[in-house]
Amino acid sequence: MTMTDAHPWSTSLFADLDVEVELDAPLGVHTWYAIGGKADALVRPRSEDALATLLRRCARNGVRVRTLGAGANLLVDDDGVDGVVIKLDAPCFQELRLNAEGAPGRAHVGGGRDLGKTIHETVRASLAGLEPLIGIPATVGGAVRMNAGGKYGAIGDVVESVGLVTPSGERRTYSKDAIGFSYRHTDLPAGTVTWAVLRLKPADTAALRVRLREISAYKASVQPLGDLSAGCMWKNPVIESTGQRVSAGKLIDEAGLKGTSVGGATVSMQHGNFITVRPGARATDVMELVERVGQEVLARTGVRLEREVVFWKRGQD
């Protein structure tokens, strides 16, 4: 059986589009966990027009679509995923324009651009606002979609507007007020984020670089950055009785779950909110460990943990 036979929709979706296509594409190499199965098709559009047409055709043909960012906040099931996975790494989705439209501090950034690279470039340009996000592995589009952030701030703090292509292929623009940024969440509808406009502020370059070093050093001291993980596995929950948000890692630590393992997956001894993997680990090891930790924390504390890391499985959105 040929790849086209296995995915009969592939020719009608891609044949005349300006895209790069890989059928039965391994996805583990595109994720920080470096494990998991294949995508029916990994598609890299070379223009926003090609992306919009592709999404429109997928919707018309009932083909499931997912967008792959930096692969840091993601676990792909061992059986892979069905449909089309989109990756925005063409030059048109990677651009950075500082002082966009002549406005000092305004940065127009492609949705596929690496967040860490963007942070260093804005610091070199003496622009403040993104440096609190240093060390968060993401594309700009992925960071906006989930309002990525941490102890020092979130990307929603500096977003002015966002461009998105809907699953039906429509191009839409959303202002900050319409996006509804909250803790690890936005009200953005389904679709692929293609660009964001950020409002940054002029600042002293040397001071910004010192701040980058301070934040990076702190994260290195408390997070297992040398191990394979997907970052924080769970969101920090809100305690209903107090309305206060508490550390998921602390709850896991107090439950005595650090070091707990399933197969090649382990709750980090350095930070309880990180699940790391060893060579030979499978996605199912991580999923089973996540379920076990969640049940133990609920039983001991009455707090239900909500995953921050996204799980991709066949037949599921």
Place of tokens 């470039």: 121
Cα angle: 308, vertex 171, 175; to 5 degrees: 65
CB 194 within 8 A of CB 51: yes
Q: How far is CA 194 from CA 75, 94, 171, 247, 252, in A?
A: 23, 9, 9, 32, 36
What are the backbone angles phi and psi of residue 144, rounded to the nearest 5°?
Answer: -65, -45
Count of alpha carbons within 13 angstroms of residue 52, beta-carbon side = 11
Sign of the alpha-carbon dihedral angle for 51, 52, 53, 55: positive
Q: Give the single-character DSSP code of 162.
A: E
Q: How far is CA 206 from CA 128, 200, 201, 211, 291, in A?
A: 11, 16, 15, 9, 45
Q: Which listed residue (44, 106, 232, 282) is catalytic?
A: 232
Q: Which listed residue (44, 106, 145, 308) is catalytic?
A: 308
308 part of the active site? yes
Q: Which listed residue (184, 209, 211, 292) is catalytic?
A: 184
Q: Give the single-character DSSP code of 45.
A: E
Place of tokens 């690496």: 114
58 part of the active site? no
Nearest to 110 by CA among 90, 130, 131, 94: 94
Nearest to 53 by CA among 223, 170, 154: 170
Assigned token pair, 42: 């990994």
Q: How far is CA 316 from CA 77, 253, 290, 312, in A?
A: 11, 31, 18, 7
What are the backbone angles phi and psi of residue 29, rounded to the nearest 5°?
Answer: -65, -15
184 part of the active site? yes
Nearest to 257 by CA among 307, 310, 299, 311: 299
Known catalytic residues are 184, 232, 308
